[in-house]
Each structure stands twice: as structure tokens, then as C-alpha cells.
Structure 1
Amino acid sequence: VEVLEESKLDRCRDGTIFSFLNWACHKFLRAGVASPRLDAEILMADGLRVSRTELMTHPDRVLNRAEEGMLCSRIERRVLREPVSHITGVQEFWSLEFEVNEKVLTPRPETEILIEQCLQALAKTPSSSPVQVLDLGTGSGILSIILAKEIPQSRVTAIEKSAEALEVARKNAVRHAVMDRVCFVPRDLMKADWQGPYHLIVSNPPYIKSESLLKCMPEVR
């Protein structure tokens, strides 16, 4: 894909969805964004409150000045390598939408492997028996909420010391209607009294070594 100069990019914009999408893609390519087309579509669709399909089926729709200003702001934030999920405020995971922000980590694809292993570990538990789960460092609450949804008889204790992260986690639990089965505990893991017993203890803390962070994409840091 040809990466256009900034001056040529601006001249290519005629106010339509099609031209704006191409402009955003080239901006992202110049910035080294790994998935320029996908990110541009997600940011535009979310900002305009339409589906990505609608972007494709109405490419000649002309954006008004307010829409252009809003989208330009989003594109520039992504050029600075702010994660897409922080710009939109949501992240799709396990076919569900979760609220995220700069106070919590955005779940990575590998987290699904952890969830699958948890479900396998509990697969032989009788469906009539209560299942006690402990989630250490719950963050946005994604692990706790998915396990609560996948295992109806579960009761999850989710420990997190960050008040800002717990606020996000509680909103996600309400969004997915599991607040009655997830107990959020504001406590430092090193000082918490984990009153069991538990059928499963799970944790997904930051796992990239400090010395390796500089080699990661800016979004991961």
C-alpha cells in the first residue's frame, strides 16, 4: 500500500466516508499502526454510531463539520498510539462487550486460553453444586464476569486494590447481569485474607517483564 505524504493526504479528503476512511488508513500506516484498516473502521463506526457494514454500504455519505472534527480527534489519538479500546471505551472479548479505560489493562487474545483452561478444570463439577472461584487482581472484572456467566452455579470473589479499576469492574458486572454472583473486594493482594475453600483460584496479572516492555508496541506499554 502506498503511503502518501501529509499534504497529499489532506488533498484527498473530500468529506465523504470513503475518503476519510482512506485518509485515516494512510495516517495509521505512517504511524506504524499494526492494523490500520481495521482500526480506522472501528473508530469511525463507533464515533458515527453505525456498524462497520454501514460504512461500506454508504461510502459517499458526506460527513458534517462536527463529525469530521470528532473523527479527526479520534484518528490523531490513535496516531499517538493510544489503544483503540481506550478511545472507544469498550473492548469486545469472548463475544461480549466490556467497558475499559486507562485505569485497567485491555485483555489480550491469550486471555481466552486462560478462560478455556478454567472451564476445563471445572467441567466435571456437578451442575447442582455451588462453585467457589477466587479472582486475584480482577482489574476490569473480565475473568470474573465471564466465569460467572459460563458457570451459572458459581460464586466469584474478585479482589482488586485499585478503586478506579473496581469501578470499571462493577459497571461491567451490571452490564452483564452477574452482580449478584460476583463479590468485589477492595483489598491489596499481599494483605488480603483469602477465606476459602475455593474450587478455582485464577489470576491474570501483568506478565511482561519490565526489561521487555521497551520492545513491545506502544499500546502494550
Structure 2
Amino acid sequence: MPSIEQTLKSAQSQLIQAGLVDSPKLDAELLLCNILQVNRTYLFTWPEKDVSPEQSITFQANLQKRLSGHPIAHIIGHREFWGLDLIVSKDTLIPRPDTETLIEAVLSLKEVSDPNKNCSIVDLGTGSGAIALALKSELPHCTISALDQSLPALEVAKQNAQNNRLEVEFLHSNWFSAIEQQQFDCIVSNPPYIEDDDPHLQQGDVRFEPLSALTSGSDGLNDIRLIIDQAWLHLYKQGWLVIEHGYNQAESINQLFQKAGYQNLQLHKDLAGNPRISLGQKT
């Protein structure tokens, strides 16, 4: 029987040969942890432990999925985001580390971070619930609603809320349709923002994610235009709109914010130093 160390080395070599060179070591470790039901520390501590024939068969089957391009998160069924373990499925986007920049941006706002204030936040297009749940974990005093037009995505988000013991209201909604008469202290969204003909849609993990959660018109801004325009009616005075967007869309979005009347505009950069999160305040 192969050892943990032998299994990992073989898998890492196959991943590199297949051109999956971004994180072959981590990919192999995550796949094996999922099969053995252990954490990565166990792999480092017990590299000589045997992997049973049954475990090897399942591991190799999952490795073949990864070699064919399937995202790790879909293979093992979950992803870590902001310290939360989240279920993911083909019906939701896979939470990205860069989106944690959005969480940081919201936490920097005194209008929502004050524990003595009863603030309200709505997350548009919540998907797996990653943003809403991360915010609730940091801002337990805030009332948080999470909206999505995909019923399967909402089921995933509800399960994640239950698993992480976080109380969030989930609503079936096409953007603002379910909250027409409501206002909030903060509106957040990681909406579709990729151009319809972007060649990257045929590469990497996004090939296996819902297209409706990725693309938004010829310039990628159709949904963002709608959100910026309609959010004004759903914000209290001094309320904030916080949007994630593409690295090359910051200037266009700044102009959309200004045209709609938002003030105190801010821009936050992601982990790679690219402009990623834009904020505007209704004053």
C-alpha cells in the first residue's frame, strides 16, 4: 500500500505534468485530506502512514477530475472563506480570497461597525452566502439579508448558515425585487462583471461555474449599472454601496457612482494590488 508521502508526490507530479502548476502540492493535499477525513497537519505529521486500497481508488478518481480541470472546491464540496467552512456546488460561484477585500472594506465603515448601532445590510446575489455569513460573523449586531435569483444557490447558502450557526435572512429575489419598499445602511454585492466574450471563460475553474453569475453584457457592467442606479432608493441617508468588480473597471464604475450622486467614493485593492472594491455613500 502507498504511504501518504508517496501518494502526494505522485499526485503532485501528475498535476504538474497536466499543466496545473498554480498549486499542485496544495491541490494534492486537499484531495487526500478529504478522502482520509483529516487536516493537513496530519499529512505532515504522519507521512509514512499507509493509504488503504479503497482510499487510493477514491483518491485517484478525484485526482482524475482535477486533472480534467474540475475545481478542487467542487470535487471536495466545500471551500474556506473568512475562516468559515462553506459548502459549494455547481450552482454557486466558488468564494475567492480576493472577495475577502470586500469584507474588510465593509468592516472599515463606521456606519456599520459600531456595535451600539442596529445596522442593516443586504447582500445582492449571495450565491453560497459567503459574503453575508462572513459579515454576520464579524458584525453580530447587524441584521443581514441575503438575496439570490437562484433557488438552488439559496439552498446552499441556507445550509452554510445552519452549519456555521449564523442567523441571516435569505430571500428569493432578482436583485431588488423582493425588497422594493426596504432601505438599508449598507448594500453589498459581488455581481457578474465579466464581458460576455472574455476568453478567460474557457479557462480554469470558471468553466465549471454558473455563467449567469459571471457575465454581464459586452462590457461586463450591465448588472453593476442596474445595482448602482437602483441601490440609491434602498439606502438610508449616509448608507453605503459596496461592489466588487473587475481589475480594469474601476474608472468606469467611479463615473457611474458619480453620475448617480454618490459621495465619499473609495477604492480598495485586492491581494494582488489590483483595484477590486468600489464604495460610494448616499449623503
Q: Which amino acid aligns with 2:198?
A: S
Q: C-alpha offsets along residues 76-103 of structure 1, whole Å, 9 cap, x if unaligned?
A: 0110111111111111111221111111
1:203 is displaced (CA, Å) by 0.5
Could you tell me how far apart the structure 2 residues matched to 1:188 and 1:148 are? 22
- The aligned residue for residue 54 of structure 1 is 42
Question: After superposition, where does 1:1-221 map in structure 2 within 5 Å?
Answer: 15-33=2-20, 34-122=22-110, 126-179=114-167, 182-189=168-175, 191-214=177-200, 217-221=203-207
Distance in 1, matches of 2:44 and 2:114, equals 48
Structure 1 range deviating more: 58-67 or 95-104: 58-67
Please list every run of 5 or more consecutive structure 1 residues that lacks an aligned counterpart in the other structure: 1-13
TM-score by length of 1: 0.86
- CA drift of 1:51 comes to 2.0
The offset of 1:53, in angstroms, is: 2.1
Task: Return the letter of the residue paired with 2:19.
Answer: G
Contact 2:121 2:145 in 1 (8 A): yes
By how many angstroms is 1:123 displaced? Answer: 5.5
Q: Distance in 2 between matches of 1:159 and 1:24?
A: 39
2:126·2:147 contact (CA, 8 Å) conserved in 1? yes
TM-score normalised over the length of structure 2: 0.68
Are 2:112 and 2:142, in contact at CA under 8 Å, matched by a contact in 1? no
Identity percentage over the alignment?
35
| 1:57 CA displacement | 2.5
* Structure 2, unaligned runs of 5 or more: 208-283
- Give me the whole-angstrom Cα distance separating, in 2, the residues matched to 1:206 and 1:164: 17
Structure with higher strand content: 2
Change (3 A) 1:215 1:191: closer
Q: Read off the aligned partner of 1:39 and give its amino acid letter.
A: D
- 2:181 maps to a residue whose letter is Q
Aligned-residue CA RMSD (Å): 1.8
Q: Which is worse superposed, 118-127 or 46-55?
A: 118-127
